Structure 1
Amino acid sequence: MPALQVREFPDDLYEELRVFAARHHRSMAQQTVASVEAAIRQERAESYAPRLVPFELPPQREARLAKRRMILERASRRKAERAEDIPSPLAMLEEARAERDSDFDRVIGEVMREVR
């Protein structure tokens, strides 16, 4: 098992660790490992925790919502402008099927000519 040596460990923190270890019926080494493990797990859990939106005043919230509405309206306008250029999913499917059938007929025709 690896060993760890800590240089320049603050005296007051060392004393707190000693008292904490005694209170939890652990050796200094056991308490040090437990404390480091708890700190790492806590930070890992916090990094995966959902981020809370910071408190905002009503004017800030209204400005944020107004900006969001503006972006959504602009997206809706762009979608409407380009709707004429984009074929419907049904039309694209029909075109793909027609292309597939045409390719299939061509390949079958070539195979049948080779068989004769």
Structure 2
Amino acid sequence: MPAVQVRDFPQPLYEELKSYASQRHRSIAQQVIIAVERMLDQPQADPRLDAEGCLSGAPLGRVPLTDSSLITTESADARKASRRRRKEAFANFDALQWRAPELAADDIVAMVREGREERSDRIIAQALDPFADCDGEGVAE
């Protein structure tokens, strides 16, 4: 799945977005996706566009921003279907029951510790014999 990174995002705007998403029980990523979907579903008239939907004054000449090959009915339908499925999933989320066995805090700590020990053992083994995984023999002496 693609990722989006925004550099130099204003801190006050980020805090406002974080608060807005929290009030709606969403992550920041979920809130950004919803905001972008809404923006794309309700296109605004851009004063920089000419009558044919091209950006005038672009360095390479006129650039079409509303090319029908880029914005299709299928993509809008796909977005709507995705949004509908997401709404249905969230609507049913509270009805889901936890089916895993109840774990005590000590059990969880023991599982984390065991995982860390296994990882440390693999790292140490690889540091001692970095070619062990290449042919199963290790370094010839």
TM range (shorter): 0.3 to 0.5
Scaled by the length of structure 1, what TM-score is found? Answer: 0.36
Greater radius of gyration (CA): 1
Scaled by the length of structure 2, what TM-score is found? Answer: 0.30
Which protein is richer in helix relative to its size?
Answer: 1
| Larger relative contact order (Cα-Cα within 8 Å, sequence gap ≥ 6) | 1
